[in-house]
Structure 1
Amino acid sequence: MSASLKFIVLSALCLATTLAQALPASVTQALPELEARGSGNMRWFGLRLYQATLYTPGGREFAWQAPFALEIRYARAFSTDELAASSRDEMARLGTPKAELPQVFSTLRRVFPSVTEGDVIVGAQDANGHTRFWHNGRETGQITDPGFGRRFFSIWLSPQTREPALRSALLAKAR
């Protein structure tokens, strides 16, 4: 391969990587300072379920009190109920009180559409602790309860997550 062809291929790969690390315009309008921090894949028995990317202000170290976004790019189809139930169950495992779980499920069903391979859901928390969701760039809902976001995003970001390797990849500085 000639040097110029190698340059073109490497440039195309870098551009593809940059584009894959960009949030939808609707999210960057709401939270313009966010840049990719880390990324990893969620697998179940070897099957890739999704790729997750964490965005923080300027790509700096994650902090609960700062705005952030978590992008999930699905590799498989899931129904609204599957997404809401699995999130509710993980939130319960991490300590969300049992009495709150029916409301959590109802709220998640409202903000989560069914997804197919290639769909993207972005969840973001602003500096006020408000949580917003987007599906393929279109906002699907907002939750103003400041405790909800921490309970929800703990699924991926808590030290007690079920997926510590994914958490480590999300919190690692993107290269």
Structure 2
Amino acid sequence: MAVLWTATANSAEINGKPSAQWTDWPVVGQATLSWFWLDIYSSQLRTPDGHYQQDSDVTPHPVALEIRYLRDISRDQLLEATQDQWHKLGYNESSSDQWLDALTSMIPDVKAGERLVYVSDGLSGQMYYFTQQGQQRLLGSVANEQMNDAFLSIWLSPKTEYPKLRNQLIGMNR
């Protein structure tokens, strides 16, 4: 199970500067993660021009990753899944432990219909939480570029555990 984030705020700030209206960005691709017959979440990737530039850097340009949960998932389950994905992607344990500590204060329990959104300028990012009623809250910021890339690598790295989902998100299956 991969970790999930989502968005639908009108604007965001990264490193204290307003970012573009990412909700107006075109959708690059969308995908649903299922485990056997259970749908876990649906996701969308957005960029300013509607295209994902494949590069050795997972986030060479601004992106917004939106994840809408289709079932209730606890914070502990999300954090455990994140750690598991980082391990599978080959990140060293000392770095991933530090990143996980930073995420612990950001990640909430999520209920079906709620969304987590991660908006990145390519170097840093911010995570937002949206309730079923559409209320939004900034959960926190990621200023470390390696952590920013590691988080998005769960979905966007060519080495992801879910290559079909990645291909759908980055628009390769259009």
Tell me which amino acid in the other structure corresponds to 1:71.
Answer: E
Aligned partner (choices 112, 131, 155) of residue 117 of structure 1: 112
Q: 1:38 — aligned with what?
A: 29
Matches within 5 A, 1:66-105: 66-105=61-100
Matched, 1:131 2:152: no
Aligned partner (choices 57, 60, 65) of residue 60 of structure 2: 65
Q: Could you say what the CA RMSD is over the residues aligned between the two structures, in angstroms?
A: 2.1
Q: 1:171 — aligned with what?
A: 170
Structure 2: runs of 5+ lacking an equivalent: 1-6, 131-135
8 Å Cα contact 1:131/1:148 also seen in 2: no
Q: 1:174 to 1:110 in 2, by over 3 A?
A: farther
Matches within 5 A, 1:14-29: 23-27=8-12
8 Å Cα contact 2:42/2:68 also seen in 1: yes
Tell me which amino acid in the other structure corresponds to 2:125.
Answer: T
Q: 1:109 to 1:75 in 2, by over 3 A?
A: same
Report deviation, 1:87: 0.7
Bigger relative contact order (CA 8 A; separation at least 6): 2
Report deviation, 1:105: 1.8
Structure 1: runs of 5+ lacking an equivalent: 1-21
Q: 2:42 — aligned with what?
A: 51
SS of 2:40's equivalent?
A: strand
**In structure 2, distance between residues paired with 1:107 and 1:149:** 12
8 Å Cα contact 2:167/2:173 also seen in 1: no
Q: Which of the two has greater helix per residue? A: 1
Report deviation, 1:27: 3.9
Tell me which amino acid in the other structure corresponds to 1:99.
Answer: S
**In structure 1, distance between residues paired with 2:52 and 2:151:** 19
**In structure 1, distance between residues paired with 2:144 and 2:170:** 24
Greater C-alpha radius of gyration: 1
SS of 1:54's equivalent?
A: strand
**In structure 1, distance between residues paired with 2:81 and 2:20:** 27
Q: 2:3 — aligned with what?
A: none
Q: 1:154 to 1:167 in 2, by over 3 A?
A: same
**In structure 2, distance between residues paired with 1:151 and 1:35:** 24
SS of 1:61's equivalent?
A: coil
Identity of aligned residues (%): 31
Deviations 1:68-89 (A, max 9, x none): 0100000011111111111111
